[in-house]
Every structure is written in structure tokens, then in C-alpha cells.
Structure 1
Amino acid sequence: MARARNPAHRTALLDAATRVFAAEGLAASTASIARAAGVSTGTLFVYFETKTALVNELYVILKSAMGRAATDGLRPGAGPREQLRSMWDGWIDWAVQDPDRRRALAHLAVAEDLSPQSRQAVQAAYAGTAEVLGPIVAGGPMRQAPLRLVSTLVSAIADATIDDLIAHPDPTGTRSSLAFEAMWRVLALDHAGERSRDPTPTQETS
């Protein structure tokens, strides 16, 4: 007879996996994760048939949570800069408040066994970011770039800022603001420091 499942065990395993992957990377064993969760390795496999299944589920959970953190605070009718700043602040706060989530997600995002289904599952959580970035990029120096490249650059700037703030906390938020200004100039301003007048963006997104 199948063993009864306890939702608390599942939550404990996901929390433990976040901590262990953050500390040890993807080489971490299921035994280490189970031990950190306070359960047996056999119990772990009751909830996740394989380590690959655990990696995929945790990736979807963390990546989607980060996307929601970036977009949940968006206000309808707000200007492009205000929307981008809201998205930026939500993103930074989510990662800095719990560094293990950021470190674990960095490992999970490059896992070789992430499934196409897992990657597709997180896209809905990022639909709002594309809606924010599109109008901003359309009038800036990167208007001819595909949105996937723009998103990669934004992620790179955010990740560098997050790593710096985790290593060197800044309660004033000064460095986060400086990084945001740099990102804004990359996306929205031409070399003269003014919005480009050409509103035609590329349609390539894949």
C-alpha cells in the first residue's frame, strides 16, 4: 500500500533542497537533502520519484516566485520608468531577503536535466516583465535587439547587483539605485542621454 503523504514533509523537503543546493550545488545528494529536512531518504522518494523530479519542481517554484515578486507590485497606469523601478525593487528584495533562494536558483537554472515543460511553466510568471520592457526598449538604443537578449541583459545586471548586496549589505539602497540607473540608460536612453525617437522595435522574441 502506498505510503500516506504529509504536506509538511513536502514543504520541509523543498525548503531543505533550497538550502542544500545553495550550499553544495547540484552535486548535493538526496541523502543530504533528506537529512536537512529531518526525514529519511526513502521518505524523499515518496514525494519526488527522482532527484531530477525534485530539481525540476524546485526550479519552477523558485523561478516563478521570483517572477511574481517582480511583477506583483506593478500599478496600472504607471509610467514606464516607475513600472521598471517597481519590477527591479521587487526582484532585488526577493533575492536579497533570502540569499539561499538566489544561490539555489543560480544552480538550478543551469541544470542539464531541466525539462522543456519546466521552462515553459515559468513563462507565465514573466509575462508582466515583457509587457514592461517592450515599450521601454522600443524607444531606446536596443530597439533592434530581440527581447530575449534584452531580458538576458536585465537579468545579468540584476544578478550582479544582488550578489553584491548579499556580500555587502546596503541598508540605504544606494547601490541598488545606481544599478537601476545604469540599467535604465542601457534600455531607454540613447548616447545623448535622451529617449530615442525611433519607436520601431524588433518583433523577434525567440
Structure 2
Amino acid sequence: MARAKSEDRRQAILSAATTLIASEGLGAATASIAKEAGVPSGSVFTYFETKNDLINQLYQELKLELVSAVLFQLPKKDPKKQLHHIWTQWTNWGVAFPEKRRVLAQLMVSDEISAASREHALKAASPTLGVIDQVRHQGVLKNRSLAFVGAIVEATATTTMDFMIREPKQAANYREAGFETLWKAIS
């Protein structure tokens, strides 16, 4: 009889994958992930059919965690306040979880992430993208694609978080300067 799967074990494997991918990249071996998680090597494949499945599920979990953080207590109506809230929550999440941020950045550009995983994450992020789209339609980038504007937002956030981490005493100043730069760029 097959043993019941444990959510704690699954989470331990995802956490170990995050740690090792952050330090070794996407080439981190599943045996190393299992060892880091404190589970037998074969257990990885009890919870994830393939390494690709593990990577896709990790991508979805990290994206959903980030989306959940940025949408928590999102203000109603005012697009600038909404975007500021999203920005603050996003940059705070990135600074609080640098390993997760690094892994998510690698996964976002990986060919290993399936279209279904990307679509799932995109659907979850639709309220956030809706705010960005609303702001875009007010400004100089109104005739540019949402994907292009999203890339600008992503690059600005990455730069801001890098400086927040590099100079923690100035983190709040960098976060606000980054937001004002973003607002002027897309509104």
C-alpha cells in the first residue's frame, strides 16, 4: 500500500529546492535537494513526477506567494495608491525573501517553465496587472503593450530591491524613489 503524501515533506522539498537553486542555479541536482530537505532521494519523485514538475510547481508557489503579498489589503479605487501599495508590498517581499526573489527571477526566464504554469501565475496576478494597465492608459506608454510596461515595472523593482538590500538604512528612501521613478515613467 502506498504511503500517504505529507504536505510538510512536500514543502520541505520546495524549500530545499529554493535554497539550492538560489545558490547553484537551475542545475541543482535532485539528490542534493532531497538531502537538503532531509528526505530520501526517491521521495522527490513521490511528490513531483520529474525535476521539471518540481521547478514548475516551485515557480507557481513563489508567484502565488508574491501575488498574495502584494494584493493583501489592496486599497480600492485610486490607481496611484493601489500601485504604491503593490510596489511597497512587492519590494518588501523581495527584500525579506532574497532567496525566493533570486529563484523566481531565474524561473521567470527559464524555458523549463510551461505555458500552463505561466498562465496560472498570470491569472493569479491579473488584479495587479489590471492596476498597471489602468495607470499605463493614463500616460505616455498608453500605446505600448502591457508586456512592455510590465518589463519596465519589473526592471525598476529589481533595481530598487537590489539597492534596498545593499543599503538597508536607506531602504525606505530607495523604495519611495523607485516608486516615484516608476510612476513618472508609466503614468
Under TM normalisation by the shorter chain, which class is it? Answer: over 0.9
Following TM superposition, by how much is the alpha carbon of 1:171 offset from its aligned partner in structure 2, in angstroms? 5.7
2:59 is aligned to 59
Q: Which amino acid aligns with 2:141?
A: M
1:8 is aligned to 8
Q: TM-score, normalised by structure 1?
A: 0.86
Q: Is the Cα–Cα contact under 8 Å of residues 84 and 179 in structure 2 kept in the other structure?
A: yes
2:101 is aligned to 102
Following TM superposition, by how much is the alpha carbon of 1:72 offset from its aligned partner in structure 2, in angstroms? 2.3
Q: Is the Cα–Cα contact under 8 Å of residues 164 and 172 in structure 2 kept in the other structure?
A: no
CA distance in 2, matches of 1:104, 1:166: 16
- Larger helix percent: 2
2:88 is aligned to 89
CA distance in 2, matches of 1:121, 1:172: 32
CA distance in 2, matches of 1:116, 1:172: 35
Q: Which amino acid aligns with 2:179?
A: F
Q: Is the Cα–Cα contact under 8 Å of residues 3 and 46 in structure 1 kept in the other structure?
A: no
Following TM superposition, by how much is the alpha carbon of 1:163 offset from its aligned partner in structure 2, in angstroms? 2.1
CA deviation vs aligned residue, 1:34-56 (integer Å, no higher than 9, x gap):
11101111111111111101000
Q: TM-score, normalised by structure 2?
A: 0.94
Match of 1:111, SS state, is coil
1:121 is aligned to 120
Match of 2:26, SS state, is helix
Unaligned runs of 5+ in 1: 189-206
Task: Point out the structure with max Rg over C-alpha.
Answer: 1
Q: Which amino acid aligns with 1:117?
A: A
2:69 is aligned to 69
CA distance in 1, matches of 2:154, 2:171: 22
Q: Which amino acid aligns with 2:164?
A: L
2:138 is aligned to 139
Following TM superposition, by how much is the alpha carbon of 1:166 offset from its aligned partner in structure 2, in angstroms? 2.3
1:32 is aligned to 32
CA distance in 1, matches of 2:29, 2:85: 38
Report the identity percentage.
38
Q: Is the Cα–Cα contact under 8 Å of residues 56 and 118 in structure 1 kept in the other structure?
A: yes
Following TM superposition, by how much is the alpha carbon of 1:164 offset from its aligned partner in structure 2, in angstroms? 2.2
CA distance in 2, matches of 1:76, 1:12: 37
CA deviation vs aligned residue, 1:101-131 (integer Å, no higher than 9, x gap):
1011111112222111101111122111222
2:157 is aligned to 158
Displacement over 4 Å in runs of 4+: none
CA distance in 1, matches of 2:171, 2:31: 41
Match of 1:61, SS state, is helix
CA deviation vs aligned residue, 1:50-84 (integer Å, no higher than 9, x gap):
1101000000110122122222231123x221111
1:167-206 counterparts in 2 under 5 A?
A: 167-170=166-169, 173-188=172-187
